[in-house]
């Protein structure tokens, strides 16, 4: 079993989640139970699935949870685009967050590849 708190992918995913929470705190209250809530759930899903995957008995199961994390990152990306179109988000902030999402996805893909190599 892997100590997820030591994984860079978990640390960065947790930090992204906190950043998304801070970002959505400033959004209009009308969004509190709409897309802001969906984005928050997607953001917390990323580190949660990494930690859950670490507890699984096989690398294949762990890889499955990493795939879910990547899907959640894609959801966040989509929500950022929508918020940007709604003018709730400055372009510079959106670009910074999207850069972090892309880097994190790349790191997770690399980790999945490493798991697959170790399993062979």
CATH number at residue 101: 1.20.1440.60
Rounded to whole angstroms, how far apart are CA atoms 100 and 84? Answer: 16
Task: Give the chain's domain count.
Answer: 1
> End-to-end alpha-carbon separation of the chain, Å?
18
Per-residue model confidence (pLDDT) at position 98: 98
Contact 42, 72 (CB under 8 A): yes
Boundaries of domain holding 95: 4-119
The predicted model scores a pTM of 0.92
Q: Above pLDDT 70, what percent of the chain?
A: 97
């Amino acid at each position: 079993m892997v100590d997820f708190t030591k994984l860079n992918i978990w640390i960065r995913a947790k930090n992204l989640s906190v950043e998304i929470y801070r970002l959505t705190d400033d959004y209009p209250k009308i969004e509190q139970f709409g897309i802001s809530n969906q984005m928050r759930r997607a953001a917390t899903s990323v580190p949660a699935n990494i930690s859950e995957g670490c507890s699984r008995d096989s690398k294949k199961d762990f890889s499955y949870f990493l795939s879910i994390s990547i899907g959640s990152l894609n959801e966040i990306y989509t929500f950022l685009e929508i918020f940007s179109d709604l003018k709730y988000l400055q372009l510079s902030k959106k670009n910074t967050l999207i850069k972090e999402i892309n880097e994190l996805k790349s790191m997770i893909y690399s980790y999945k590849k490493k798991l697959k190599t170790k399993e062979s």
